[in-house]
Amino acid sequence: MKSFAIHPVDQTIKPSILAKIDNLNKPKGSLGRLEELALQICLIQQTLEPSLAHPCHLLLGGDHGIEREGVSVSPREVTWQQMINFTHGGGGVNMFCRQHGFKLRIVDVGVDYDLSGIDGIIDRKIARGTKNFLYEPAMSEAEFDRAIQIGSDLVEDCVAEGCRVLSIGEMGIANTSPSSIWMHLFTGVPLQECIGAGAGLDTPGIRHKYEVLSKALLNYQVTTPNQAPITPLAYFGGYEMVAAIGAMLKAAEKHLVILIDGFIMTACALAAIQLYPAAQDYMIFTHCGDESGHKRMLDAMGANALLHLGLRLGEGTGALCAFPIVDSAVRMMNEMNNFENANITKYF
C-alpha cells in the first residue's frame, strides 16, 4: 500500500494558542466547544491565525457485491441514479455545498453503471462494483491499493487549489454492511450491536442482515486468520470507502482539517486510524447519526461529535451541516478582540 508521512500534531505552539484564546474578550472557557475546535485547528495548521480557505467536498460513489444478499432496503440502481442526480444539483449534498461554499467533486470509483459520458462526474472507476464478500474478498490487494491512490490523488488536486478543509461523503447502496463489520473487527463490539437499519430496514430485515454478515465474517475468519489490518479493509470494503481512507490519510499528511461525516465515514476514519493512528489528530467528527452502533464507534475512538440531528442520508451531509460551527471557531480566533486592545478589564 502507498505510504503516508503522518505525524502527531506538533504541540510546541499550544501554549501560545491557549494564551490567545484565553485573552479574547470573554470569560475564560465561555465559548466551550468552539475553543476546543480552535485549539485543534490551530495545532493542525501550526498557526495562531487559522484558515478554512477553499473548502472541498469529495462525493465518492461505488457499489457493493453484498447488496445481492438483500441487506439493504434500496436496490443498487439507486447508486447510479443518485450520482446522475448530483450532477444536476438536485441532491442534499449539492444544496449544502452551495450553502457553505464547498467545491463539490463527484467521483465514480466503482459504480455498477457506465457513467463515463456524464458531465460532472470524475471517472476513476476500478470495477463495476465489488465482489460479494459473503463468498470471496470484495476486492484484490491491487484494487485496494488503487482505491487508496485515487483518494490520495483527489486530495492532491484539492490542495493544489488552496484547500485547507476537506469533507468526504459517499454514495453506495449497502455500504453500512462493510462499515458494521469494520466496526466489529476494530472495536470488539459484538457484531449484532454494530448492525442497524441502514437506509430503512425493518426488524426482520435487520435480522437477515445480521445473519448474512455473521456468515460472511465466519467465512473470512476461516480463510484468513490472524492477518494485518489491511486484510479486512480489502476483504469487506467498498471502492468508495477505501478511496475515502486514502483521501483522509493524504489530507492528514497535508495538514488539512478533515470533517468526518456519519456512520460510514466514521468507519472509514476508524480504518484510517488503524493504519496511521496519528491521522485522528486532523479529524473533526461532525455528526452522530441514528444508525445503530455509531455512538459506540465514536466512543471507541474517544470522539465526541458536534451534532446529533438524526441524519442518515450519507453523502457527507452531516459534515457540511456542521461546517458553520467549525467556521465560527476559526472566526473567533481571527476576529474577536482581546482584553488589552478593547480596554476591558479581565473578568475571570
Alpha-carbon distances of 288 from 118, 153, 168, 240, 274, rounded to whole Å = 33, 28, 15, 21, 20
- Take residue 109 and report the three cell numbers written for it: 470509483
Fill in the DSSP letter of residue 87: H
What is the DSSP secondary-structure string of 258-301? EEE-SHHHHHHHHHHHHH-GGGGGGEEE-B--SSTTHHHHHHHT
HSE-up (13 A, CA, CB side) for residue 85: 15
Q: Are 246 and 279 in contact (CB under 8 A)?
A: no
Annotated active-site residue 315? The verdict is yes
Residues in Cβ contact with 47 at an 8 Å cutoff, skipping those fewer than 6 apart = 13
Q: Which of 141, 315, 335, 340 is labelled catalytic?
A: 315
Widest distance between CA atoms in the chain: 70
Would you please indicate which residues are annotated as catalytic (active-site) residues?
315
